[in-house]
Amino acid sequence: MPSLKYEVGDLLTRASRREFLSAEEGVFLFENAGTAELMYVGNQIKQHHVPGNLVTWIIDRNSNTTNVCIANCKFCNFYRRPGHDEAYITTLEEYRQKIEETFSFGGEQLLLQGGHHPDLGLKYYTSLFRDLKQMFPNLKLHALGPWKLPT
Ligand code: SF4
């Protein structure tokens, strides 16, 4: 069995000491650490910043980038195949309305999620994020989060 470049335990120990990990080390943890271990260390770091059982929150709004998706998850009732009559990509004007509404209710963050549209690549999203931040410099964007199956 080939030896791994890093040790999960060493990286988690360093993370729990709030030492900065490299992107490569982060990817290694993403691929090799158990979900429970990551949650445990995440909570340790949270305890450092906000001790005790206090949990803080912000007001944000979920907004779908597109309902077009080719992933075909069995449970999903949201997605539409490319070319479907109900397929959409959210426009900048629609984002503007949603963000202004969010701000009017004291919100500060937009959580973007959506389908795997085969024609929307990284350039589309980087342009979208740039446009949104130009329109609303104080907006917090919560988008494109990594996701992994529980281990
Ligand atoms: S929209 Fe999300 S949940 Fe639905 S099929 Fe696509 S990836 Fe799966």
* Neighbour count for residue 142 (Cβ, 10 Å): 14
- Write the residue with the smallest CA distance to atom 4 of ligand 1: 76
User: Contact 45/91 with Cβ under 8 angstroms?
Assistant: no
**Residues contacting ligand 1 via CB (< 6 Å):** 69, 71-73, 76, 78-79, 115-116
**Going by C-beta distance under 8 Å and a sequence separation of 6 or more, which residues neighbour residue 129?**
141, 143
Contact 73, 105 (CB under 8 A): no
Least confident of 16-25, 64-73, 138-147: 138-147
Residue 35 Cα, ligand 1 centroid: separation in angstroms? 21
- Which pLDDT does position 148 carry in this prediction? 53
Q: Encode pLDDT of 8-53 as tens digits.
A: 999 999 999 999 999 999 999 999 999 999 999 999 999 998 899 8
23 burial level (CB within 10 Å; 0-12, 13-18, 19+): exposed
